[in-house]
Amino acid sequence: LTLKLPFEGHEQVKEYILDGGRPQLTSKELLYPSNIIDLMIVCWSQHSADRPSSSQLVSITTAPEFAHMLDVVSLNSSDAAIVAGEAFMIDDFVTCDDSSSMGNQLDGETWLSRADGLVSILSCNQNGWLDYKNVVLNEESFVTSLCLVEDTIWMGELTGLVHIFCVKTYAEIGNFSMAPYVLPNDKSPRHQCSLRPVEMIHLPALKGVLICINRPGSVLLCTISQALSGNTFDMASCIKSPQELGAISCCAAVLLRDMSYAVWCGHTAGYISMFNLENSSFKSSGSVNHYDPVIEGVEVSRLVSSPNNGRYVWSYIYPGCVLYQWDVNQRSIISKLDCSKIAPCSESINTLNIEERLNPGHCQVTSLTLVEKEECTQLYVGTTWGVLIVTEADQLKPITAFRPHLDEIRVIVPINQQKRVNPFSIGRFSSSTNRNVGPSSTTSANDEKSLKKSSQK
């Protein structure tokens, strides 16, 4: 860490160590990735049996997550499952004095909705987590979808209510119910029905937000200005999926050209229905299926697309362990990736247990996120066994795979240049809980896997 002897200038080093003395670390050194700090701690264990051997050191330090996992934080009531997430970067004011260091600066936030009804907000910088707070919306419901829209966060509840929060003040600035547009003839009291939004997508070209409802399968286009003003939406901007396709399980929007999007909706039996969205109006454009002949008992549970590149859409069928890459123009599958064929490189033969761990049940996809970079657009895939697979998105070629978690990875949210908000003119967090996750991406799962324990199994 320091490239210095641990007790430089200290007298009677042996006696000091035997008495339990350990090297002092500065606050700067404590900002190193958490695995490096953890390894140093176990290497200085009082009992020799607790210290890693040379082979264990090699196994630990060669794991992909060793130097890349910046920090880990445990949320309060960690048994409450994470449902959805959103993350964004914050543009800070820059003066002439600090403009030279801008390349190393990062300030961001992650919003995570939980099954206990809370929404956890975590702030971070380039070194790790900084602060953590909770927002309570509805104790009898929970948020199933989040979306960053300019400097607001839209949160869709299980009841069909959409809350709009300002990310600068954490105050609710508006809300509306989707029930009048999805169930116009329904006479039940407002917010008493179950209308789960499975996806909310910001469409900058149309200055609106696309909201996909699970059941009854419906797609809503909500104009941002109308939502903030409290005006009702145009009923022509609501379309329901064809009756024979049933509920919508996931959704993706592809920018075709100016003011025009292709909307793909996932259904059961491997179906994907397609709509053209142009000039704020929907038009059905058919459907495709992953299989020929059609297979019952499966569902398209994940659809991912790029907000900038309208060439491809990636999908996943549950249950299963295969990812599909679609050509948007041809509406055909051009590539596949079997996740059961990819073994995490940070596991040893003893801990891997190929026959047990690499069966299809452990390789089902639980989260799927596209991370766009200048050099290579990547697809991050989380599985039920806690494995994180990184692939080249354009060709579905695996780059690496490792297992940072013990159980399924529920949510992957990137913190990158694609989602930014303007500088904040007021103070934000007032709490002093200092915790040192990576500014590039955040994963949420049931538990972190210790590299030290893994190397000893």
Measured at the CA of 285, the angle between CA 281 and CA 288, to 5 degrees, comes to 140
Averaged pLDDT, 398-403: 90
Residue 364 pLDDT grade (very low, low, confident, very high; cuts 50, 70, 90): very high
More confident residue, 148 or 66: 148
Strands (E), 74-224: 82-90, 107-114, 118-125, 128-136, 143-149, 152-157, 161-166, 172-177, 197-203, 208-213, 218-223
* Rg, the chain, Cα only: 24
Burial of 151 (0-12, 13-18, 19+ CB in 10 A): middle
Residue 41 pLDDT grade (very low, low, confident, very high; cuts 50, 70, 90): confident
Q: Which span out of 14-18, 207-211, 227-231 was modeled with the highest average pLDDT?
A: 207-211
What is the model's pLDDT at position 146? Answer: 95
Rounded to a whole number, what is the largest CA-CA distance in the chain? 84
Partners of 162 in the beta sheet?
Answer: 156, 176
Averaged pLDDT, 402-427: 79
pLDDT at 349 over 50: no
Burial of 455 (0-12, 13-18, 19+ CB in 10 A): buried
Q: Which residues contact 441 (CB under 8 A, 6 or more apart)?
A: 369, 371, 380, 412, 413, 414, 415
Averaged pLDDT, 136-140: 82
What is the model's pLDDT at position 97? Answer: 41
More confident residue, 112 or 307: 112
Kindly report which listed range (6-15, 207-216, 333-342) carries the lowest average pLDDT score.
6-15
What is the model's pLDDT at position 430? Answer: 37
User: What is the tens place of the pLDDT at every residue in 417-452?
Assistant: 778 887 654 444 433 333 333 334 666 665 666 654
Kindly report which listed range (161-170, 174-183, 363-372, 428-437) carries the lowest average pLDDT score.
428-437
- Amino acid symbol at 233: F
Residues 92, 96, 98, 101, CA torsion sign:
positive
Residue 403 pLDDT grade (very low, low, confident, very high; cuts 50, 70, 90): confident
Kindly report which listed range (192-201, 202-211, 442-451) carries the lowest average pLDDT score.
442-451
Kindly report which listed range (22-26, 75-79, 319-323) carries the lowest average pLDDT score.
75-79
Residue 128 pLDDT grade (very low, low, confident, very high; cuts 50, 70, 90): confident
Averaged pLDDT, 90-98: 50
pLDDT at 137 over 70: yes
User: What is the tens place of the pLDDT at every residue in 222-260?
Assistant: 888 877 776 666 655 667 666 667 899 999 999 987 778
* Percentage with pLDDT > 70 across the chain: 78
Cα gap 1→307, rounded to integer Å? 40
Cα gap 150→164, rounded to integer Å? 11
Q: Which tokens go with 64?
A: 């992909």
pLDDT at 82 over 80: yes
pTM above 0.85, yes or no: no
Averaged pLDDT, 174-183: 85
Averaged pLDDT, 294-305: 95
Residue 98 pLDDT grade (very low, low, confident, very high; cuts 50, 70, 90): very low
Residues 139, 79, 143, 214, CA torsion sign:
negative
- Amino acid symbol at 304: V
* Percentage with pLDDT > 90 across the chain: 33
Q: Could you tell me the strand order of the sheet in which 281-289 lies? A: 250-257, 260-266, 271-278, 281-289
Q: Which tokens go with 247?
A: 């509920």
What is the model's pLDDT at position 435? Answer: 32
More confident residue, 230 or 57: 57
Residue 30 pLDDT grade (very low, low, confident, very high; cuts 50, 70, 90): confident
Cα gap 347→402, rounded to integer Å? 8
Partners of 284 in the beta sheet?
Answer: 275
What is the model's pLDDT at position 358? Answer: 65
φ and ψ of 357, to 5 deg: -85, -30
Domain map (residue ranges) of the chain: 13-62, 80-321+415-447
Cα gap 174→227, rounded to integer Å? 7
Q: Which span out of 182-196, 197-211, 429-443 was modeled with the highest average pLDDT?
A: 197-211
CATH of domain 80-321+415-447: 2.40.128.630
Cα gap 157→162, rounded to integer Å? 6
φ and ψ of 235, to 5 deg: -65, -20
Q: What is the mean pLDDT of the chain?
A: 80
Contact assessment for residue 403 and residue 387, using Cβ atoms and an 8 Å cutoff:
yes
